[in-house]
């Protein structure tokens, strides 16, 4: 089999002058041509030659986790447990001053066990308080890339960056976020940037009030979700309102792989680290923890109930125990139902000191 020809990169001149002539191909031409594998910057999470939208509420850590991404690809290290390619990275930051970026990168270097001098493959700029619009629109909704868009593209290409991080969307977008054509056009220009660098563009964004309340993490028009090929949502666990250091990175959209998964994270010593082992099934983990908590409760002569209205409702009681390892009520409730279905636990009786019998969850014999 012969290898498929590599697609020609889009140059800045072509971006400015408009799209090249349309190339037409027949599937018959692919006969005996090896199928090109899908290309990811981070396996199964961030595709190359595409735009990834990473949303999250203010203060939840979008900037930090993308700085960690830049450091990981620079050194060829896993990013929050997922394998990443080793490439150069460029970041445009509109919300954090250079001193803050310095502090965060220093924390990350300690976590990576390397020196700041090892990050020569990272280039970044802080533009706090500047005009950072990349694409603007006139009264006829016609889009025009700005001088900053051209400067970002030229620097990224000259530096050899194959990851560009843009932080964040509301500083960079010069249109109306609820107008679908504005959203699609803006993402189209970022896709051209991804093609120009033959790499990935990651854009940080704030979700709307609706996106926060529904847990979807979306912002404005649904065109934002539809226009990108990958969308991630960094948020706090739904079932854990007591641990301020807990986060979960959810895959809300992934055109080239499975969606709906989540990576449990914890903030620790200035960086986010993965809470569960790579490849671990969080629900199998919750089942194991449920049984461990049940055993501990029984050894202490106490009981838990399967009834949601009970003050002894098992998921609520277990989520407060140190043995739970901060697994929340929702996961423990799913684990309980699964364990009942597998006949690993059953409804039994617990005899209280006054000899009164109450309904309780017990291990199946």
Q: Is the pLDDT of residue 106 over 60?
A: yes
The pLDDT-based confidence of 9 (bands split at 50, 70, 90) is: low
More confident residue, 140 or 212: 140
Q: Are 203 and 291 in contact (CB under 8 A)?
A: no
Can you give the residue ranges of every domain in the chain?
39-274, 282-363
Q: Give the mean pLDDT of 117-144.
A: 95
Q: Give the model's pLDDT for residue 44.
A: 85
pTM of the model: 0.72
Computed over its alpha carbons, how large is the radius of gyration of the chain?
25
* Residue closest to 232 by CA, chosen among 60, 364, 105, 49: 60
Q: Give the model's pLDDT for residue 335.
A: 86
Lowest-confidence segment of 102-106, 132-136, 162-166, 361-365 by average pLDDT: 361-365
Q: Is the pLDDT of residue 260 over 70?
A: no
Residue 359's SS3 state is strand
Does the structural domain 39-274 have CATH classification 3.40.50.300? yes
The owner of tokens 């037409």 is: 24
DSSP per-residue codes, 46-87: EETTSEEEEE--TTSSHHHHHHHHHHHHHHT--BTTB-B---
Sign for the CA dihedral angle at 220, 222, 226, 231 comes to positive
- CB contact burial 41-80 (16+ within 10 A = b; e otherwise): bbebbbbbbbbbbbbbbeebbbbbbbbbbbbbbbbebebb
Sign for the CA dihedral angle at 125, 154, 138, 223 comes to negative
Query: How many residues make up the chain in this entry?
Result: 365
């Amino acid at each position: 089999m012969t290898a498929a020809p590599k697609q020609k990169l889009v140059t800045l001149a072509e971006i400015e002058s408009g799209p090249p002539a349309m190339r037409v191909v027949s599937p018959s031409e692919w006969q005996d041509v090896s199928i090109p594998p899908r290309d990811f910057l981070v396996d199964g999470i961030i595709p190359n030659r595409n735009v990834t939208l990473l949303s999250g509420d203010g203060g939840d850590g979008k900037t930090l986790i993308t700085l960690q991404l830049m450091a990981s690809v620079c050194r060829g290290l896993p990013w929050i447990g997922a394998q990443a390619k080793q490439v150069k990275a460029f970041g445009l930051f509109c919300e954090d001053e250079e001193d803050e970026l310095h502090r965060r990168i220093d924390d990350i270097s300690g976590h990576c066990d390397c020196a700041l001098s090892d990050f020569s493959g990272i280039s970044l700029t802080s533009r706090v308080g500047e005009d950072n619009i990349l694409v603007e629109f006139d009264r006829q909704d016609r889009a025009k890339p700005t001088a900053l868009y051209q400067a970002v593209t030229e620097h990224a290409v000259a530096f050899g960056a194959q990851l560009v991080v843009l932080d964040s969307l509301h500083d960079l977008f010069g249109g109306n976020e609820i107008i679908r054509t504005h959203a699609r056009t803006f993402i189209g220009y970022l896709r051209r940037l991804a093609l120009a660098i033959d790499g990935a563009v990651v854009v940080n964004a704030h979700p709307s009030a609706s996106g926060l309340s529904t847990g979807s993490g979306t912002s404005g028009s649904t065109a934002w979700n539809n226009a990108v090929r990958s969308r991630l949502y960094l948020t706090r666990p739904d079932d854990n309102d007591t641990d301020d250091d807990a986060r979960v990175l959810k895959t809300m959209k992934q055109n080239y792989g499975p969606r709906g998964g989540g990576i449990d994270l914890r903030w620790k010593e200035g960086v986010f680290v993965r809470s569960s082992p790579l490849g671990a099934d969080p629900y199998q983990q919750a089942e194991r923890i449920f049984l461990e908590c049940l055993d501990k409760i029984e050894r202490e002569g106490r009981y838990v109930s399967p009834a949601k209205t009970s003050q002894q409702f098992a998921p609520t009681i277990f989520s407060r125990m140190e043995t739970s390892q901060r697994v929340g009520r929702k996961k423990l409730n799913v684990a309980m139902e699964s364990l009942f279905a597998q006949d690993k636990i059953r409804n039994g009786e617990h005899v209280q000191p006054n000899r009164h019998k109450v309904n309780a969850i017990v291990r199946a014999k």
